[in-house]
Each structure stands twice: as C-alpha cells, then as structure tokens.
Amino acid sequence: MKDKNTQGSQEGVYTPEPRVYELGYLLMPTVDEGNLGNERDALVALITKFKGIVISEGQPQLIDLAYDMSKMINNKRHNYSQAYFGWIKFDITPNVVEALTEEVETGKSIIRSIMIKTVRENTLTSDQPFKLARVNKSDEGEEDEFGTAEFSEGSEDGGDADVDSKSTGSSISDDLTKIEGIGPKIAELLNKKDIYTYADLSSSKVGDLRDYLADAGLSQHDPKTWSKQATLAKHGKWDELKTLQDELQAGK
C-alpha cells in the first residue's frame, strides 16, 4: 500500500500538492498601453512554464505610487511616480515558486513584484497593491495610501497570509538592523536608496553601498558582508546568520 504522501505520484517519490499563490506586479509606466496584454501574457507564460494554472487576475491599470520608485536600465537609474499595477492568482507546487519569482524579477518592464501564498477564495493584492499605490485625491484634497494594513487575511490555516521574501523590493520592509553593521541610521539611508528588504540588500552591489555610505559621511562602515547576511536572512536561515555574525565585528 502506498504511503498517503506518495498517492498520485510515482511510488516512493513525494510530489508536493499545488498551493494557491498570488503575484502582484508593477510595470513601468512607459509601457505602451497596446503592449500591456503582451506583458501580462509573458507573465502567464512564465507561470505556465512552471506548471502553474491561472485562477483569476486583474488587468494592469495605471496608478500613482505612494513614493517614487527606481529601476536600473543600462546602468542608469530611472525614477517612476506611476506604474501599471496588475495581479495574477494561480495554482502551483511550492517547490518551484522561488525559481518562478526569480524569473519574474528579470522582466525588463517589471519595477516591483511580490508573491503571496493565499487561498482560492481571497484576493489580496487587488485591493491592497502591497502598499505601493495610493488613491486619487479625496474630497478633502488629501491623498490616502492603499493597503496600510499588513496582509493578514487569506491563509489556509486561518492565520496570516505568507509574503514571499523574494519580492523585488516591495514596500513591505524587513528589519535591516538585523544585519550586523547596520543600525537605524544606515537602515534609513538604505530605505532612501530604495532598499527595503533582505532581497533588495542581497542583490545590491558592494560598490554602490559604499558610495551611499560615503555620500552620507558614513564611509567608516564596511558593507562587504551585508549581501551575504541578507541572503541568509532572505531565506530564513537565522541559525546560519547568527553563526556568521558571531564571527564578525561591526559587519566586517
């Protein structure tokens, strides 16, 4: 008799059950409206490539951003105050989500993206574009941010929904002060440079980090291990991070 964990798969081989995920994404506002469908199709093709099955989606719509965001294009930083926001919900096996997220990040038109584990009945990012968007001015002439609450609905066990740490720099910030060598002042500096998460920091170049520190008069700090530390934090390898940090002094 087969073990229940191998039912429906080859005998002795465990096949993870599909789970429901939701991809929220921001496209550069310079994308021609006539090509938005192609951008959406490219994301769906990636999901299909990893054997995902689309459940529902929200077509990209132009929104104002809560703060300017930047993207490096041909070694030049471009800033955007608007973006096309869309979302796609789909079934997929959890073991391929990280690889899928990495491929999404390579999209030339993608400014930000976030992967959320959710349930079929709820749609999280459609109403809360991961705290990146703001509505138009209200009658009182003030601007209100979307999604000021964390993603606290929609998990399969009744608890909080899971936000994948591979989001490409979304405004769901990680505590960067958990990185040895980074204090509140440097964390604030990094935020100003559009570095909010461990994923952002892990992909940052040491040279760029040193330039940021030098410009702020903080060149005495050495960021050479920050990317490595952030990579461990990004993947939740806290024991390994602690072991590494025990060998460091002020991040060195």
Cβ neighbours of residue 239 under 8 Å, at least 6 residues apart? Answer: none
Are residues 159 and 181 located together in one domain of the fold?
no
Domain of 48 in residue numbering reads as 4-163
168 located within any domain: no
251 located within any domain: no
Per residue in 78-137, pLDDT tens? 898 899 999 999 999 999 999 999 999 889 999 988 888 887 766 555 444 444 433 333
Q: For residue 7, what is the enclosing H or E element?
A: none
DSSP string across 148-201: -S---S--TTSSPPEE-TT-SS-SS---GGGSTT--HHHHHHHHHTT--SHHHH
Number of domains in the chain: 2
Per residue in 3-29, pLDDT tens? 444 444 445 555 678 889 889 899 999
Are residues 10 and 109 located together in one domain of the fold?
yes
- Cα–Cα separations (whole angstroms), residue 244 to 6, 46, 121, 233, 250: 38, 35, 42, 11, 12
Shortest CA distance to 152 belongs to which of 196, 116, 98, 199?
A: 116
Dihedrals φ, ψ of 39, to 5°? Answer: -65, -45
- Cα–Cα separations (whole angstroms), residue 64 to 22, 23, 44, 208: 21, 19, 24, 28
Burial 192-218 (b: 16+ CB within 10 A, else e): ebbbbbbbbbbbbeeeebbebbeeeee
Look up the CATH number of the domain holding residue 120: 3.30.70.60
Are residues 159 and 234 located together in one domain of the fold?
no
252 located within any domain: no
Both structure tokens of 60: 């990209």
> Is the pTM of the predicted complex or chain greater than 0.75?
no
**Taking the CB of residue 183, how many other CB atoms lie within 10 A of it?**
15
Are residues 139 and 217 located together in one domain of the fold?
no
Are residues 184 and 215 located together in one domain of the fold?
yes
116, 132, 163 - which closes a domain: 163
Are residues 211 and 106 located together in one domain of the fold?
no
- Report the share of the chain in percent with pLDDT over 70: 71
Average of per-residue pLDDT across 226-245:
88
